[in-house]
Amino acid sequence: MILFVCLTRSFAVNEQTDYPSLDQLAAQLRQLANTHPEATLRSLGKTAGGKDIWVLEVGTGALDQKPAMAVVGGVEGYHVLGVTLTLKFAENLLTSNKETLASQTFYIFPNMSPDAYQQYFAPLKYERMGNATEVDHDRDGTISEDGYEDLNADGFITMMRVESSLGGYVVSEENPLLLRKADPKAAEKGTYLYLPEGIDSDKDGKHNEDLEEGIAFNKSFSYQFPAFEALAGDFPVSQIESRLLLDYLYERPNIYTVFTLGPANNLSEALPYQASNAQKRVVTSILEKDAELNKRLAKLYGETVSLKPYQQTNQGTPGDFFQWAYFHFARLSLSTPGWWVPEIKTAEDKNFTSTEANFLAWADSMGLEDVFVPWTEIDHPDYPHKKVEVGGIKPFVMHNPPYGMTDSLADMHTAYILQVAAQHPKLELLDLKTEKLDKDLTRITVELFNDAPFPTHTEMGKRSRWFKKIRVDMDRQVADILIGDKIKLIDSLDAYGKTTLNWVVKGKGAVRIQAGAPHTGYTEITVNL
């Protein structure tokens, strides 16, 4: 099925020129909810920094009785694009694709990291991951005493290069503005130390190890939780943001797909099935049938979104939300960054080995001039009598394209998301047959059919108690049902799969048969005996 997305924009009066601030995001969400009766805006609660966690519930009728998709942005504070694409998806859905809402529900979470997101708009800009929770990252009894310092007073935290024979870096051949790691196998000797901009404020020999930020949303979930790592927290789901989201998701069993607009990517290339890891007690590989489904949806993504895959190696990191949604929530979990730096060739028509060199070549080809801070020599208290320079690629620019590109990206991703939603399970009761028997008895036979290219349950969902089984109800007293069950549970149906249901019932009148689950929707049929 091909769905066409109309390119209408409801916020054209005040044309946006940069990614929206938290206040602008809230205003645009409120405008959508006030303009469209199909949308309800809720604040699930506030972060430690006092920022709202928004959800926009979009649908018609009984939202929880139809298959649903959760669309989640802002899983990383530095990935501001994900917030905008999620917002623009909501706008596209409500302005041009309302017909979808007759059969689907959407729960849209634009920004799960508002504390970290705010750093994009702060006077001091750096790629922040953690929220506003106070954390003693280096466990020395003092909170946030060794954060970043803006040593060249330009408003950006970039990098420092320190001339030193003890360093492990050399100047890159691909771009003299950059450094690369020295190759010990080639007997290369490093000539630079390469560090984030700052000083050793607590004089413990380490730079910036106790940042002024707390726990990262996308590093604090229960699947492969990275215990004892910075920004992960003391235990999984320790933060307000993650608890609010998970409570909300668990209370809505109609969710079939979780679509994340974040750094992880299983759409440019599907997750590989690994039999040995799939058979472990603690499963660490996507299951085989789910891998086949992922592969098909990745192919559809390539046909719908015109972004050629390039160095898309992040298919999940420890403690992230994308993997939790599959391995622990058992839903179909899809994730894409929504954009990445395209592949650029060197003068010799070869690929760059450095992502930074590739980025600078692309930025130059696009005429983007404000992406690099020139190296500037400074006096550094930790390195007296050494040449220290501050500079490098500016924060955010390698993960987020110029804002002017976001409309076209949003339109492509809207088209893709709606095509995925259109494939959600859809149950029908077909080929009803009744046969009169002796002594006021009737045999009822009907086919329960899943008229959809998705199975009713992911393979992981079959193992999970969080995916409800299909329930079939016969509206008749138990004493009047001679053969068959008043309530029957069905584990799952394949894509376009079916199962035959049989009863023998006593008496006359109308009998109602209902079948379904929250994530498949419900269907019913009336039989006149």
Query: Does the pLDDT at position 294 exceed 90?
Result: yes
Least confident of 104-118, 126-140, 148-162, 407-421: 126-140
**Per-residue DSSP letter, 51:** -
- The token duo for 97 is 């694709």
Give the residue-averaged pLDDT of 117-136: 91
Nearest to 223 by CA among 291, 145, 132, 284: 284
The DSSP result for 24-50, as a single string, is: HHHHHHHHHHHH-TTEEEEEEEE-TTS
d(CA 453, CA 519): 14
Enumerate the β-bridge partners of residue 445: 433, 502
Is residue 7's pLDDT more than 50?
Answer: no
Residue 161 has pLDDT above 50, yes or no: yes
Q: Per-residue pLDDT averaged across 327-355, rounded? A: 94
- d(C-alpha 67, C-alpha 259), whole Å: 14
Rounded to whole angstroms, how far apart are CA atoms 51 and 132? 10
75: nearest Cα among 235, 259, 214: 259
- Is the confidence at residue 516, as pLDDT, over 50? yes
Distance of CA 449 to the CA centre of its chain: 31
User: Judging by beta carbons within 10 Å of its beta carbon (0-12, 13-18, 19+), is residue 381 exposed, middle or buried?
Assistant: exposed
Q: How confident is the model at residue 199 (pLDDT cuts 50, 70, 90)?
A: confident
User: pLDDT tens for residues 351-368?
Assistant: 999 999 999 999 999 999
Kindly report the pTM of this predicted structure.
0.93
Summarize pLDDT for 452-478 with one digit per residue, the tens: 999 999 999 998 888 999 999 999 999
| Residue 154: partners with Cβ closer than 8 Å, 6 or more residues away | 373
pLDDT band at 9 (very low <50, low <70, confident <90, very high): very low
Give the other-Cβ count within 10 Å of 78's Cβ. Answer: 21
Q: Going from the N-terminus, what domains does the chain have, and what CATH number goes with each?
A: 22-120+218-341+400-421 (3.40.630.10), 139-212+367-397 (no CATH), 427-528 (2.60.40.10)
- Sheet containing strand 470-474, edge to edge, reads 487-490, 470-474, 510-517, 521-528
pLDDT for position 4: 38
Kindly list the strands in the beta sheet with 255-261, ordered across the sheet, starting from the edge strand earlier in the chain. 39-46, 52-58, 105-109, 68-73, 255-261, 332-336
Instruction: Give the strand pairing for 105-109 and 68-73.
Output: parallel
Whether residue 272 has pLDDT greater than 80: yes
Mean pLDDT of 142-147: 60
